[in-house]
Structure 1
């Protein structure tokens, strides 16, 4: 007997992907509560682990070793991932205000967004200094610093770090290590460290402070104690003057800010109770003292009953109790107190694969401490990798927990029908959820379909949209598309789906007029479903407004998961129609967007992709095909279609059949999304890919070409893919240049049309 579907009953929103929330998401994936609509909002896809960042600066670690992929982690947790920046809270209406999304409703909220260096008391710091946080911005700036120095490695350079706490000290050690490997002469590096206090590492033991100061002086770092920076001004282009209240002035090429932690300004504007520095004040449950449905952890939180420094160790320790209390408040069970330790171990890397251990009044320096630190850090990061092999843990606090494990995805080796039938089938979403073209053709051939005489383009001569003669001046164009959600953010899903559905009109050269929506909502209570529907339709309306198209109606129903589609209406002049037929010999073939959506989305389902790959794919899907259609019309395109579920080859064959021509493709010219080659090499393809391979019979290729991952991507189903058009040879170069200028930067001339042969073929060169 089939079990009853889970209903969504609670909106839990997490703001920020800090250490505590990373642990919460990991634990949630292992022990989730059915019915919770969990959402993570983060302004970055990858969140850094602070313990390894100094080592990354030195060059000991790469980006992936030091960052947690939040898209993958959110997917494992069953959470929606909203890539956006929070700018405020509407506490009265229980809504999160973001830069891009419409207000996001919550029942319970947790905040873990870290802190930023204080710079309001230093004139010019906002314009001329590089803050150590947010880390993503710092790493981008540090990359540019290294690039500048690598370009001129013989020149002298001066770097200044403002702040002599643990963060500033570690940067001083590790920046020197990195730059000495770039500069041709070590004497060309001047490193300055300015600190307000009379000794470094305030809060650590006297021995630790003296040891760090001694090591810095030994390696040539200039240390300025009891100095307060009041102003940073440019002395010449790319050179700065740092002025202290004592009158001390230091010239520097680069200035880094690692001062005391401060809170983002928007926190205080919300009305939530904060401490004197603007950090959210929480009780022993990590719960806001003013709003019991809001929790906070990490640097952004200050515990009312405990005075502790802003250190990553506390954020890590708060992860488990935060997870327990978030689940407890949803379940209505007793919250449990978190008691932060008074003393904690600090391991400070000195840039030479040695470390200093600081524990209360004790301190020690040794190379084995670096080995130990490296082991601890890597072990922590291993918790957020290889999700496909992780097993659920028992949660004694929850009864009847429903855990969904991954199924196998169909690999491209499963082309044989018998083998395919034996596979455990995992259907993909988006346009990859279509049925195969051969199934459609066979079914339609069995039907006796009457076509009214006013239908100019319909099932008798199928194209991207139907065309109906309604007046002498213009023709009516109609199309429909629908598919289940392939992305956890309904606002973005609404935008992509709207682009995808309208694309059939653009491919015909039509002007869109109005749409009706078809929506499937997951089972749940009205308050949760309202939020999903609101975000979905807001995304849809955003695209419709950009194109001056009206939403005129629709139909909603409930099902197992979110689905969305549009019936689209438009108009076209009889002499402006772009059809699949019309390709002429010697025409050039242009594709406006890269391939790879299908394999990337399939890889994401089994945790085999990277967040930035999906970010890039989403950006491609968000690009409208409207302007490209206008450009193709401008340069007299002879035929056009959009690339969707049947892949490049499937849609190209439709054009060749309708035009009675053949085509030569240049495989190396076909644009491909970042990461798609890697996932195809792993054998990861979408569930529609094997059906698309039926079209191989139309291709003439040699065995070596078939081994290329580029070849496999010819059959990859696309969601909101690009336009494919044939352009007269004399117009093709100018057309391509105009497309690139219009923002279709991945556009490529991928082949040419050749004369009709006995068999429609596709030559790959």
Structure 2
């Protein structure tokens, strides 16, 4: 059976290993669309989390980069919180976005901490935390690093399992002198572990004692509640019961592994060891099912070797080896053995070497707004068809009609090839990018039409991609009170690429309206002594370029996407009337959005248009002083620029460097105020590359008088980056 849309729900150890398998052996990857969904782009390797707490490892040392793995294996990647499943309708429900349909589904969504907060009603809520999710519990632990409350009240770890033991020993390494407790069922604590607790000066308490002070719950695992509500057969813990093939009972189109699944007649505890060992059987069955072959049964061993590690108060770290009822340790050699295994496991997911090879061997073309035609090519073409004015004095949006009764109708069009593999988020970014031209004219978006080109696929997959894309567009329009009123769809005539969703192309015609009596903002209104304000950071072009070459960390990419996916339509009220003014008065003199031509190119457009109209009025020309140190930069962008990365479209944009040069003893039109930065230094080159970096969903840029500037700066999120002056 061909998997039309195979969905990997969750980025647990099993799914991560399957992605690695397909990245290393692409011929094994099933045909069709495969999508991985996880709540974040990275997952912490559970076995190394105690080492993060003890400060033995940094977070980056112990995370699996799911976004990079998905990219390498030709799998689409979606960041989303799963909130429900309908096995019959084959729909997976996500928070704040439309459900995703599937033909085959594999669940590896991990688990939550089994906690009953009723037992801790006497404790202040902020003093109780669950060990999962790991990122949240670590942030909770950090708050006590310099908190004197622990000098008088011990921090108590509650739990009788191996996790609780390792966590409390990790806390001892983190806090050598602070009082710590482990509250557990005494009968469940290994005698050798008790000696370790004593050596680490950790107070062991019975589970019936009253708890005061901060509490960290390591009280076992439970699957998410939505799994139990899905109608799948589950055991008493809420784990999905499966056949030996890892397929859910009576639901052969659904697999379940890891903490959320268990073989019905071979039930094993939730453990990372079994999750790792399930990877190959699950991968083989997915691959066999995709070929129409019968899946085979897997018989996991009853007992597995488990290695436990921890730090005593003042000695070297030690480890214990457990095999069923038998245990060996503590021993520093076992600790070294465990550390070696953990480091090897996490290192097999390192993509940096492979991606350096990709960078050396390929010339990958950037997507998003970096896929546009160069300014020179565009101007030459427009000149030959007698439309030179459109190229010489471009505006973000065009006036369609105007009347005293209904106001002024503005229109713009924009779009690009898919920027990311998530079709919903890609469509949202495209719509936000297209709307920004209307916002830059000071108009409110009222409607849009879309042209969507889909890859050559079967009708089921095309429908799924179309549903996700249209929903992404609507997620931008509806909060603005705008509607998607029509459009057109095409089927591409190019061969589908490996990551199918990157074959989507979307263009949008956006309509906006200005109130009666309100004039549109434009690029040509720069005035002397105006201050230049920008609404958010630059650097999206180089971040996406770095992503294509595996140089951008998934954390940086996730942060960037989160920033770019935020609508800027709320800034309109600030732009149009930051103080009590009449509608026909210009509180903002000029406005544009920073997109494909970068900050320098768009400033050049504003200067050229403004100077042209000032010359017609017999006024002196204008120039701009730019303050590089003030320009906000997206996290990770400067590091990539220093490493020599750049968008493929930046090469064309470097023609705008001429704006920085003096000509015939005249000062440059745009003066970079370098301050203490040495001319032509590496830092100077980084600044120059940043201001020609092509932006997708870039910031708005306004030119306004100082009094208006101060109001906007006080209100935020605006940042002052320059000044307009006469030549």
Q: Shared fold by TM > 0.5?
A: yes
Equivalences, count: 671
Matches within 5 A, 1:604-643: 604-635=547-578, 636-643=587-594
Q: Distance in 2 between matches of 1:750 and 1:121?
A: 50
Matches within 5 A, 1:387-536: 389=354, 406=358, 425-449=363-387, 461-473=393-405, 474-536=407-469
Equivalent residue for 2:499? none
2:673 matched to 1:722? no
Q: Distance in 2 between matches of 1:154 and 1:593?
A: 40
Q: Distance in 2 between matches of 1:100 and 1:582?
A: 40
Q: Distance in 1 between matches of 2:342 and 2:359?
A: 31
Equivalent residue for 2:191? 210
Q: Tell me: CA distance 1:387–1:77, structure 2 relative to 1, closer, same or farther (3 Å).
A: farther
2:510 matched to 1:577? no
3-state SS, counterpart of residue 632 of structure 1 = helix
Q: Deviations over 1:408-462 (max 9, x none)?
A: 59xxxxxxxxxxxxxx532111001011112212222222249xxxxxx956742
Equivalent residue for 1:59? 55
How far residue 96 of structure 1 moved from its aligned partner, in angstroms, is 0.3
Q: Is the 8 A contact 2:43 2:66 kept in 1?
A: yes
With structure 2 as the length reference, what TM-score do the two structures score?
0.88
3-state SS, counterpart of residue 527 of structure 1 = helix
Which of 636, 643, 647 is matched with 1:682 structurally?
Answer: 643
Q: Is the 8 A contact 2:355 2:550 kept in 1?
A: no
Which of 297, 302, 306 is matched with 2:262 structurally?
Answer: 302
Q: Distance in 2 between matches of 1:75 and 1:608?
A: 12
Equivalent residue for 2:136? 137
Q: Distance in 1 between matches of 2:531 and 2:423?
A: 38
Q: Is the 8 A contact 1:388 1:607 kept in 2?
A: no
3-state SS, counterpart of residue 328 of structure 2 = strand
Which of 719, 723, 726 is matched with 1:748 structurally?
Answer: 719
Q: Distance in 2 between matches of 1:552 and 1:485?
A: 22
2:648 matched to 1:659? no
2:673 matched to 1:735? no
Equivalent residue for 1:16? 10
Which of 263, 268, 271 is matched with 2:228 structurally?
Answer: 268
What is the root-mean-square deviation in Å for CA atoms of aligned residues? 2.2
Q: Deviations over 1:366-413 (max 9, x none)?
A: 21222221111111111111255179xxxxxxxxxxxxx94659xxxx
Which of 96, 99, 110 is matched with 2:95 structurally?
Answer: 99
Q: Is the 8 A contact 1:408 1:426 kept in 2?
A: no
Matches within 5 A, 1:99-248: 99-120=95-116, 122-124=118-120, 127=125, 129-146=128-145, 150-152=146-148, 155-180=151-176, 186=177, 189-200=178-189, 209-225=190-206, 227=207, 244=208, 248=209
Q: Distance in 2 between matches of 1:730 and 1:449?
A: 38
Which runs of 5 or more structure 2 residues have no equivalent in the other structure? 495-502, 579-586, 612-621, 662-671, 673-678
Q: Tell me: CA distance 1:222–1:493, structure 2 relative to 1, closer, same or farther (3 Å).
A: same
Q: Deviations over 1:655-710 (max 9, x none)?
A: 01111221001000000001111111121111100000010011146323764423
Equivalent residue for 1:284? 244
Q: Distance in 2 between matches of 1:425 and 1:534?
A: 32
With structure 1 as the length reference, what TM-score do the two structures score?
0.84
Which runs of 5 or more structure 1 residues have no equivalent in the other structure? 1-7, 181-185, 201-208, 228-243, 392-404, 410-423, 451-456, 757-765
Q: Is the 8 A contact 2:438 2:512 kept in 1?
A: yes
Q: Deviations over 1:558-582 (max 9, x none)?
A: 2241111101122235642111001
Q: Distance in 1 between matches of 2:294 and 2:358?
A: 33
Q: Tell me: CA distance 1:343–1:668, structure 2 relative to 1, closer, same or farther (3 Å).
A: same
Q: Is the 8 A contact 1:432 1:688 kept in 2?
A: yes
3-state SS, counterpart of residue 44 of structure 1 = coil
Q: Is the 8 A contact 1:667 1:711 kept in 2?
A: no
Q: Is the 8 A contact 1:132 1:258 kept in 2?
A: yes
3-state SS, counterpart of residue 472 of structure 2 = helix
